[in-house]
Structure formats: structure tokens, C-alpha cells
């Protein structure tokens, strides 16, 4: 059974960057096979890792919806979707990527989430590690795309708005009884450690902080993957020290 790390948080705080660096470190530590699940409709996890994006689950469902006659006789729709999804997993060197994408058809988003949840449940058995880069906000949680994880990693910036969003996410995971073994708050792009009094009411264990890193911005502007980020860079060094707690 794969060790699952689900990453959540509001938009614009660097969830995909953190997810990509965790995936990179898992590969560098040679701990086993890794699947990155890009559950954000604005898919960019593959690009961060230098893996050319292919079709997404949303595109698969759109194609099947538009061409129902392509479903082979004797095969159920769900079984055919599962088969098609297996074909859109993008294989990298030691890392595979599955993108959820954004469905085009009205009213089909919940169905995409349900398919993703079922398929990820099966894929977890085929990989040693699964890192899920979730959609910004609370949508994926309220629809229970992520129903269980070994680690829930809520990423926030140190601002009051970011911490309020982290608290809402924490409260919702408890309300929905999402099963987790470890629950962490990670502060991203911060100049200093978070004051403990700001954690009041947030039912997450404080993991630590990741400093602002100019190297990440330069790679983004150049269109280069995070594999190129120097190991001595502030963000890489800080997160690498926290990996033992995450694992």
C-alpha cells in the first residue's frame, strides 16, 4: 500500500512547488516508485517536474461523453474509463504523473472527483508513494476527492488570511472525518518561524517554514523544472530537513 501525502491550501501559496519538491526528494532518496496526482484543474505539476503533460481525466470523460459509441460491447462505462485513465498516466524517470484536468461538460465535476477517488484508491497499491496536489480552496475536501491519507500537509503563508484558510481546511477535514495519520501546517515563503500564538485554534501540528527562494522564481520565468533548483537553495534545504517528519 502506497504512502500517501495529500497537500492542501488556498490558491497562490505554492502548493504545487511544495508537491514538486517533495516528489523530487522522494526520487533522490530512492525510496521507491512515486505517483504525482495533479488534482488541481489548473494542472501544472507535470510542468514543474519537466514531464510533458498529456491528456487528463477530464479530457478522457469529455471524449467518452461525446463518443459513447466507442465503449466496447460488454464493457461498462466505469470499467472503460478506468482503462482509459491508465493510458493517460505520464511516465517520467522514476516519477509518474496523473492529471485530473478540468471537465468541459456542465454538471460532471462531481463525477470526475468520484472517478479520481476510486482510481487513486486502486493506484495507491501500485506505487510506494503517492503525492496529491489538491485543488485550491475547499472544493476537493467538500467533495471528498481526498478521503484518506497518511499525511495531510496544509500549506499557508504567514498572513492572517492564509492562516484562516488553513484553519477552515483543518476544521473541514475533521468534520468530514477524512482519515489521516499525520496532520501538518507548513508555512511557505516566510522570513521567520511562525509565532506559536498564531496557531491557536488550528488543529494541525506545526511542521516548520520554507523561506522565500529567488531560485524558484528564476526557474519559473525560464520555464525550467524544479529538478534544476540547487540543493543548497533556501527552499530545498529547509524542506529537506522536514522530510523526516513527513515520512
In this prediction, residues 126-130 reach a mean pLDDT of 92
Q: Please, which pLDDT band fits residue 88 given cuts at 50, 70 and 90?
A: confident
Domains of the chain, residue spans: 3-246
d(CA 172, CA 154): 12
User: What does the pLDDT average to over 84-110?
Assistant: 74
Residues 6+ apart with CB under 8 A from 65: 105, 108
Percent above pLDDT 90 for the chain: 47
Q: Angle at CA 70, nearest 5°, toward 65 and 75?
A: 95
Position 62 scores a pLDDT of 80
Tell me the pLDDT band of 33, cut-offs 50, 70 and 90.
very high
Least confident of 84-93, 152-161, 205-214: 84-93
Q: CATH number for 3-246: choose from 3.40.710.10, 3.40.50.10190, 3.40.50.300, 3.20.20.70.
A: 3.40.50.300
In this prediction the pTM is 0.88
DSSP 25-56: HHHHTT-S-EEEEE-SSS--HHHHTT------
- What's the pLDDT tens digit per position in 45-77? 988 999 887 788 778 878 887 887 888 888 887
Task: Give SS3 for 246.
Answer: helix
Residue 54 φ/ψ region, left for φ over 0, alpha for ψ in the -120 to 50 degree band, beta for the rest: beta
35, 1 Cβ separation under 8 angstroms: no
Distance CA 166, CA 186 (A): 10
Amino acid at each position: 500500500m502506497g504512502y500517501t501525502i495529500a497537500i492542501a491550501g488556498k490558491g497562490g501559496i505554492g502548493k504545487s512547488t511544495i508537491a514538486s519538491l517533495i516528489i523530487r526528494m522522494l526520487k533522490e532518496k530512492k525510496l521507491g516508485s512515486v505517483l504525482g496526482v495533479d488534482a488541481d484543474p489548473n494542472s501544472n505539476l507535470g510542468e514543474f517536474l519537466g514531464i510533458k503533460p498529456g491528456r487528463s481525466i477530464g479530457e478522457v470523460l469529455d471524449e467518452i461523453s461525446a463518443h459513447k459509441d466507442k465503449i466496447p460491447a460488454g464493457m461498462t462505462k466505469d470499467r472503460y474509463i478506468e482503462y482509459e485513465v491508465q493510458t493517460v498516466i505520464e511516465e517520467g524517470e522514476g516519477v509518474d504523473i496523473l492529471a485530473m484536468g478540468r471537465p468541459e461538460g456542465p454538471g460532471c465535476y462531481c463525477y470526475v472527483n468520484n472517478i479520481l477517488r476510486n482510481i487513486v484508491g486502486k493506484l495507491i497499491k501500485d506505487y510506494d508513494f503517492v503525492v496529491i496536489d489538491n485543488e485550491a480552496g475547499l472544493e476537493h475536501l467538500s467533495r471528498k476527492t481526498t478521503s484518506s491519507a497518511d499525511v495531510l500537509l496544509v500549506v499557508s503563508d504567514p498572513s492572517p488570511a492564509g492562516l484562516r484558510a488553513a484553519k477552515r481546511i483543518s476544521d473541514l477535514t475533521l468534520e468530514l472525518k477524512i482519515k489521516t495519520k499525520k496532520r501538518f501546517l507548513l508555512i511557505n515563503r516566510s522570513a521567520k518561524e511562525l509565532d506559536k500564538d498564531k496557531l491557536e485554534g488550528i488543529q494541525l501540528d506545526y511542521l516548520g517554514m520554507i523561506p522565500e527562494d529567488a531560485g524558484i522564481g528564476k526557474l519559473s520565468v525560464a520555464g525550467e523544472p524544479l529538478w534544476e533548483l540547487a540543493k543548497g537553495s533556501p527552499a530545498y534545504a529547509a524542506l529537506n530537513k522536514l522530510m523526516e517528519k513527513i515520512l
